[in-house]
Amino acid sequence: MSLLERLRRQVIADYERKTPGSRALFERAVETLPGGVSGNLRFFPPYPLYMATGRGCRTVDVDGSTYIDSFACNGPLLLGHRHPAVVSSVERHAGVGSLVLNPELAVECAEKLKQVIPSAERVRFLNSGTEAVMTAVRYARAFTGKPKVVKFQGQYHGQDDQFLLGLGADRRAFSAGVPESSQDGTLTLPFDDVEALDELLGVRDDIAAVIVDPAMHAGGLWGVTGEFLATLRSRTRDAGIVLIFDEVITGFRLALGGAQAWYGITPDLTTLAKALSAGDRLAAVVGRADIMEVSDPRAGRDVPRAFQSGTGNDGTSALAAALGAIGEYERLERAGDYDALAGRIEGLEAALLDAFEDHGIAVRVNRVRSLLQCFVADPGAPGERDARLSGALLYPLHLALVNEGVLLALPGSDHSFFSFMHDQPALDEIAEAVRTVLGKYPFAEAYQEAYRQKMRGRVPQEPSAGEAPSAADAQGSVDVPPFGGCVLPCKVEA
Ligand SMILES: Cc1ncc(COP(=O)(O)O)c(C=O)c1O
């Protein structure tokens, strides 16, 4: 048995000892919920954690164990769990009823977005990031009269058929059940490749929109610079193409005004969700008034009309949560807390690098403000990730951290989202837990062995039948794990 496999078994055994309640609930849940979960990304092997509650940057599982929560339910909890500003706003509006026709709250919330998001001349509320992306693309197609939309490889834009492709380094569809025809309208390009962009724009005049996640979040935060975004802005403007920033992750997170404020680049349309309502169910498409006019029911015959309506678009609780959250983000920005949070996470990045270096493990940390991802690097090409070793080593690392009361990332997903509630003592606890697990479990030895095998042309040993699968195995591929941050070919930053 390889050291990697021995390590994995040791970590899983400790996890099973710590989480009997989650195991029992999982065994019950699989009888009704496929995989025991309400979304594929909530699962990790051998069975996921089931949480009972949360407050601030901590969450408590059904066994009563507390964890520092840097998974944050995949990003929305930028204010942590149960922030008083959000809770009190929801309570204040509780008497309205869950849904009323055309609530004043929606007008108030839209006015607030117009104040804080640079591109927001008009606002349409919806329920999820997926819907926001679908809608923004529909508006762009209606406005331009053109059929194609460009996305970048490695980027995730929600679960609409037309975007479930190109999550790896090629165009491969990411899901069964998606007809090829639904992806015909989507073109893919490598991120941060101006030459490829120019080549495409040089030969096509049927492109309605380019959509980009400005932090390259699902692709591992690699190669993110304002420079490429600025190039995208000028090329799309010159070509009459609608530039969509998908700020479902970056909105309110990189800055109060999102990535567009942080990089100083204003797109034509923007999608918002997640942190918009700090964990409630609200999304929005915001953008240029002339484009958004396609969704104006009063529009005249000369304006192409795009349909969009959703029963829950303006639910009271979500709008109230958003108003409370945005008010708090404004206060935090005025107080300099966005920079303070980014500074704290920069300190954590340094502490993580030190800890791994002390154990002889080559790690690369990518960070954009309060977003962070670790990769096992390739010692042969410093700075580049080693997708295979990353998948094999980071799954037990994140599971081992769970054993120490730290949910740095969901094992197998590797994305860390920090909130304003992650104060210095919490971050010190995370760094300490990383040092503890690197000392307690044979990570360094497993890494050295796997690396030596790799140098001899062998891959880290795969688990045999009946053995606990690694995160990468669970995701169906070692080289291209979805959302594992190992999606794209490596890129070395200067
Ligand atoms: C960049 C981006 N766009 C869109 C979505 C889809 O959002 P939702 O899960 O709310 O549908 C996500 C979800 O993670 C995302 O990361």
54: enclosing H helix or E strand? strand 51-55
Determine the distance separating the centroid of ligand 1 and the alpha carbon of 429, expressed in angstroms.
Answer: 29
Q: Count Cβ atoms within 10 A of the Cβ of residue 353 and give its class: 0-12 exposed, 13-18 middle, 19 or more buried.
A: middle
CA gap 27, 129 in Å, rounded: 31
Determine the distance separating the centroid of ligand 1 and the alpha carbon of 118, expressed in angstroms.
Answer: 21
In a domain, 243, yes or no: yes
99 and 165 co-located in one domain: yes
With the most atoms of ligand 1 within 8 angstroms of its CB, the residue from 71, 157, 373 to mutate is 157
**Would you state the pLDDT for residue 131?**
98
Is it true that the peptide bond before 267 is cis, omega within 30 degrees of 0?
no
- Give the chain's radius of gyration (CA, Å): 22
**Would you state the pLDDT for residue 220?**
85
73 CB within 6 A, ligand 1:
no
Q: What percentage of the chain has pLDDT greater than the value 70?
A: 91
* Residue nearest (by alpha carbon) to ligand 1 atom 8: 129
Average pLDDT over residues 124-130: 97
**Would you state the pLDDT for residue 473?**
33
398 and 328 co-located in one domain: no
In a domain, 278, yes or no: yes
Average confidence score pLDDT of the chain: 90
Determine the distance separating the centroid of ligand 1 and the alpha carbon of 248, expressed in angstroms.
Answer: 6
**Would you state the pLDDT for residue 380?**
66
The DSSP code sequence of 73-123 is TTTT-TT-BS-HHHHHHHHHTGGG-S--SS-HHHHHHHHHHHHH-TT-SEE
249 CB within 6 A, ligand 1:
yes
Neighbours of 350 (CB within 10 A): 12
181 and 98 co-located in one domain: yes
CA gap 224, 197 in Å, rounded: 16
Average pLDDT over residues 361-372: 92
Please report, for residues 213, 307, 321, 406, the alpha-carbon distance to residue 341 in angstroms, rounded to integers and kept in the order given: 21, 40, 22, 19
137 and 42 co-located in one domain: no
**Residue 14 belongs to domain with CATH number:** 3.90.1150.10
Determine the distance separating the centroid of ligand 1 and the alpha carbon of 133, expressed in angstroms.
Answer: 8
308 CB within 6 A, ligand 1:
no
**Would you state the pLDDT for residue 377?**
77
Phi, psi at residue 366, to the nearest 5°?
-100, 135
326 and 343 co-located in one domain: no
Average pLDDT over residues 398-411: 97
Average pLDDT over residues 331-346: 98
227-258 confidence digits (pLDDT tens):
999 999 999 999 999 999 999 999 999 999 99
**Would you state the pLDDT for residue 494?**
26
**Residue 108 belongs to domain with CATH number:** 3.40.640.10
With the most atoms of ligand 1 within 8 angstroms of its CB, the residue from 163, 249, 282 to mutate is 249
Specify whether the CB–CB gap between 418 and 70 falls below 8 A: yes
437-488 confidence digits (pLDDT tens):
999 999 999 998 888 887 776 555 443 333 333 333 323 222 323 333 333 3
259 CB within 6 A, ligand 1:
no
Which range of 172-176, 381-385, 433-437, 463-467 scores highest in mean pLDDT? It is 433-437
With the most atoms of ligand 1 within 8 angstroms of its CB, the residue from 126, 163, 221, 248 to mutate is 248
213 and 317 co-located in one domain: yes
Task: Report whether pLDDT(83) > 80.
Answer: yes
22-72 confidence digits (pLDDT tens):
999 999 999 999 999 999 989 999 999 999 999 999 999 999 999 999 999
Is the dihedral angle over the CA atoms 337, 338, 341, 343 positive or is it negative? Answer: negative
Phi, psi at residue 357, to the nearest 5°?
-60, -40
What is the total residue count of the chain?
494
331: enclosing H helix or E strand? helix 316-334
158 CB within 6 A, ligand 1:
yes
102 and 30 co-located in one domain: no
CA gap 153, 21 in Å, rounded: 39
Average pLDDT over residues 88-116: 97
**Would you state the pLDDT for residue 481?**
32
In a domain, 385, yes or no: no
276-328 confidence digits (pLDDT tens):
999 999 999 999 999 999 999 998 888 899 999 999 999 999 999 999 999 99
CA gap 292, 280 in Å, rounded: 24
**Would you state the pLDDT for residue 461?**
45
Nearest to 479 by CA among 456, 494, 455, 462: 462
With the most atoms of ligand 1 within 8 angstroms of its CB, the residue from 130, 373, 487 to mutate is 130
259 and 362 co-located in one domain: no
How far, rounded to the nearest angstrom, does the alpha carbon of residue 310 sit from its chain's CA centroid? 24
Q: Within 359-442, where are the H helices?
A: 387-403, 424-440
99 and 210 co-located in one domain: yes
In a domain, 420, yes or no: yes
**Would you state the pLDDT for residue 165?**
92
248 CB within 6 A, ligand 1:
yes
**Would you state the pLDDT for residue 458?**
54
Angle between helices 337-358 and 316-334 (to 10 degrees): 80
Residue type, 61: D
148-160 confidence digits (pLDDT tens):
999 999 999 999 9
In a domain, 39, yes or no: yes
**Would you state the pLDDT for residue 426?**
98
Three-class DSSP category at 308: coil
**Which two tokens mark 399?**
């599971």
* 250 CA closest ligand 1 atom index: 1
* Residue nearest (by alpha carbon) to ligand 1 atom 5: 158
CA gap 102, 342 in Å, rounded: 38
213 CB within 6 A, ligand 1:
yes
111 and 59 co-located in one domain: no
263 and 170 co-located in one domain: yes
In a domain, 379, yes or no: no
**Would you state the pLDDT for residue 414?**
83
Average pLDDT over residues 351-374: 93
CA gap 89, 375 in Å, rounded: 39
Contacts of 13 (CB under 8 A, 6+ apart): none
190-228 confidence digits (pLDDT tens):
998 999 999 999 999 999 999 999 998 888 888 778 999
In a domain, 489, yes or no: no
Determine the distance separating the centroid of ligand 1 and the alpha carbon of 77, expressed in angstroms.
Answer: 14
144 and 281 co-located in one domain: yes
**Would you state the pLDDT for residue 257?**
98
pLDDT tier for residue 100 given thresholds of 50, 70 and 90: very high
**Entry pTM:** 0.92
Which range marks the domain in which residue 153 is found? 84-333
With the most atoms of ligand 1 within 8 angstroms of its CB, the residue from 133, 153, 163 to mutate is 133
127 CB within 6 A, ligand 1:
no
In a domain, 377, yes or no: no
CA gap 488, 187 in Å, rounded: 17
* 74 CA closest ligand 1 atom index: 14
Structural domains counted in the chain: 2
